[in-house]
Amino acid sequence: MAELQLLDIGPLDLDGGSTLPVTLAYRTWGRLNAARDNAVVVCHSLTGDADAATWWAPLIGAGKALDPDRHFIVCANLIGSCYGSTGPVSPRPDSGRAWQADFPDISVRDNVRAQQRLLRELGVARVELTIGGSLGGMLALEWAVLDPTVRRVVLVATSHAHSAWCIAWSEAQRQAITADPDWQGGFYAPDRPPAAGLAAARMMAMLSYRNPASFEERFGRTLQPAQPGIVTAPLENGEAKPLFAVQSYLHHQGSKLVERFDANSYIRLTRMANTHDVGAGRGGAEKVLASLEQDVLVVGITTDVLFPLAEQRTLARLLPKGTLRVLDSPHGHDAFLLEADRLEHLIRRWLGEPRPAAAHSTSSFSCAST
């Protein structure tokens, strides 16, 4: 496993108007070549971290789409997260106490500018590829806008701007967190976080990451014994009622996130995603996307209810050198992680293909049979 490293990149002027001293946590795989132009930037999603070789293992390795024998692969933890980069759990320079709810709002562009500083410090002269899924795809796209020398871009299950639908899901999740009595205005005790609220937020999120058909196929109306820690109505004999399997699954997912993630970070990062709009302040998305000269692979998922395939079709259409590929999967939005082996095959094929003779292609390719 690549070692987690920390780099102080100094004060960063944020889009919101404040200045934040930033440390980035990052990992690298492979080596920078003599021309310093073989860098690949992998951007993680909402609650992800810098260890891309773990959560996207099928994509990274010898002979794979992202090959450390050929590429210098870099993945940095997002500002605002809780996995090493500066965020709400970090100490404030003026007091030494954690920022918590005082942590400033950050944007996708803020994060990309920070990553650009990181790559300069690492000696990178030119980025070969930026790649990411979901929130990570927003960063990969913003990289292409802020650095026209980026050669190629892969955008998976993402869009050029966060939709009203996505914003609504995020707001409902934030309200669940802030309604928890332990929220305390965002200044909660480290040993008493708003666990119930964060767990409920994660349960909501899981509904948007999958889809009705996948839940029906996996869980149906199957019942199972009540699990410890899950409150259910008692039966007449005083024993807990059985749970539907899907209830147990959601409670498990909520508990897992509570164990590893910070509620203030969750709120800041969902706000960051909500503000994503590649055309904001630049004359609109059509103008910005039409100006991009990079070869861009846009991957949509047939059953994604959070970022519907129509959004990727639009994105690919607006890009002069955009190519759409479709991942046919029953798993919804999370297919970009759950079916990473098939995604890797799709990406590797695209990387080996010459750019289409036409200025832009939106042909779709299903890798369902692989």
Specify the amino acid at residue 17.
G
Tell me the C-alpha distance between 166 and 203, whole Å: 15
Active-site residue, selected from the candidate residues 248, 262, 333, 334: 333
Active-site residue, selected from the candidate residues 304, 329, 331, 334: 304
Tell me the C-alpha distance between 30 and 161, whole Å: 33
Residue 105 C-alpha from the chain's centroid: 17
Per the listing, tokens 């409150």 go with: 231
Q: What is the helix (H) or strand (E) element at residue 296, kind and residue range?
A: strand 295-301
- Let me know if 276 is a catalytic residue: no
- Whether residue 153 contacts residue 299, with contact meaning beta carbons closer than 8 Å, is answered with no
- Let me know if 160 is a catalytic residue: no
> In whole angstroms, how far apart are CA 168 and each of 66, 80, 112, 173, 256?
34, 21, 25, 9, 23
Specify the amino acid at residue 222.
T
- Let me know if 15 is a catalytic residue: no
Active-site residue, selected from the candidate residues 134, 208, 214, 248: 134
- Whether residue 50 contacts residue 76, with contact meaning beta carbons closer than 8 Å, is answered with yes
Q: What is the helix (H) or strand (E) element at residue 34, kind and residue range?
A: none
Tell me the C-alpha distance between 41 and 127, whole Å: 7
Tell me the C-alpha distance between 49 and 57, whole Å: 13
Q: Which residues does the annotation mark as catalytic? A: 134, 304, 333
